[in-house]
Structure 1
Amino acid sequence: MAPKKSTASDKKRKTEASTSQSSVFDTTKFIGPELAQRFKDLEKRTVWPEKIFDINDTGIFGRFVEIIESRHWGKLINPPKKINFELVKEFYANARPNGNERVSFVSMVRGREIRYDRDTINDYLGRPSDLPSDELCDFSKQLARGNWNVQAITETLLREGCTIEYNASGNVPLRALQNDLTIFSQLLLLLVLHNILPSSHTSDATMRVLGLMYYMEQDLQIDVARVISNEIKNMVLSGIRTTPLKPTC
Structure 2
Amino acid sequence: MSAFMAARKKQKLASSSVGYDKFRFLSAEASDNYMEFLCKDLVEERGIDLSSAKDAPLLSAVKARGWGELIRPPAHAIGPLVREFYANLKERHENFRVLVRGKMVPFDSRTINDVYHVPDIENDEYTEFLSKNLDYVEVIGMLVRALATEVVNNPRLDFMHFYREWCNFVTAALMPSSHVSVLTKERAALVFALITGKSINVGRVIQDSILNSVQSATVRELPHPSLITSLCERAGVSWVKDEAILEPQNTILGVQRPVVSEGQDMPLKGPSPSRSASAPPIHTPLPAHLNLHERVTLIEQSMRNQRRQFDAFCQRVDNYMAYFMEFNSSLVQMFVVCGLNIGPNAVQFPQTPTLPSYPPDDEENDDH
TM-score under structure 1 length normalisation = 0.72
Mapped partners of 2:148, 2:83: distance in 1: 36
Partner of 2:127: 140
Q: Provide the residue aligned with 1:122 in structure 2.
A: 113
Contact 2:175–2:209 (Cα < 8 Å) also in 1 = yes
Aligned equivalents of 2:108, 2:120: Cα separation in 1: 15
1:156 counterpart residue number: 146
CA offsets 1:172-196 (integer angstroms, 9 cap, x no match): xxxxxxxx96212212111111221
Equivalent pair of 1:196/1:224 in contact (CA under 8 Å): yes
Aligned partner letter, 1:136? N
CA RMSD in angstroms comes to 3.0
**What is the letter of the counterpart of residue 80 of structure 2?**
E
Equivalent-residue separation in structure 2 for 1:83 and 1:106 (angstroms): 19
Match of 2:68, SS?
coil
Matched residue, 1:74: 68
Q: Per-residue deviation at 1:137?
A: 0.7
Tell me which stretches of 4 or more aligned residues in structure 1 moved more than 6 Å: none
> Which segments of 5 or more consecutive residues in structure 2 lack a partner in the other structure?
151-157, 220-368
The answer to whether the Cα contact below 8 Å between 2:143 and 2:189 also exists between their aligned partners in 1 is yes
Match runs of 1:127-206 below 5 Å = 128-131=118-121, 135-147=122-134, 148=138, 151-157=141-147, 182-206=160-184
Counterparts of residues 40-55 of structure 1 (less than 5 Å): 40-55=35-50
Aligned length: 209
Q: Is 1:23 paired with 2:18?
A: yes
Tell me how far apart the structure 2 counterparts of residues 150 and 237 of structure 1 sit (CA, whole Å): 25
CA contact (8 A) 1:137 1:222 kept: yes
For 2:5 and 2:209, the matched residues in 1 are separated by 44
Query: How big is the shift at 1:123?
Result: 1.1
**Within 2, Cα distance between the matches of 1:58 and 1:32?**
47
What amino acid is aligned across from residue 109 of structure 1 in structure 2?
Answer: V
- Structure with the higher helix share, 1 or 2: 2
Alignment partners' CA distance in 2, 1:68 and 1:146: 26
Alpha-carbon distance change, 118 to 188 in structure 1, aligned in 2, over 3 angstroms: same
Structure number with the bigger relative contact order (C-alpha 8 A, sep ≥ 6) is 2
* Larger-gyration structure (1/2): 2
Q: Which amino acid aligns with 1:139?
A: Y
- 1:88-127 alignment runs, 5 A limit: 88-98=82-92, 104-126=95-117
Extract unaligned runs of 5+ from structure 1: 1-5, 161-179, 242-249
CA distance in 2, matches of 1:235, 1:45: 11
Once the two structures are TM-superposed, the CA of residue 225 in structure 1 deviates from its matched residue by: 0.9
Instruction: Report the residue type matching 2:45 in the other structure.
Output: E
d(CA) in 1 for partners of 2:195, 2:114: 24
| CA gap 1:8/1:57 in 2 versus in 1, 3 angstroms | closer
102-111 vs 208-217, which moves further = 102-111
Per the TM alignment, residue 90 of structure 1 is displaced from its structure 2 partner at its CA by 0.8
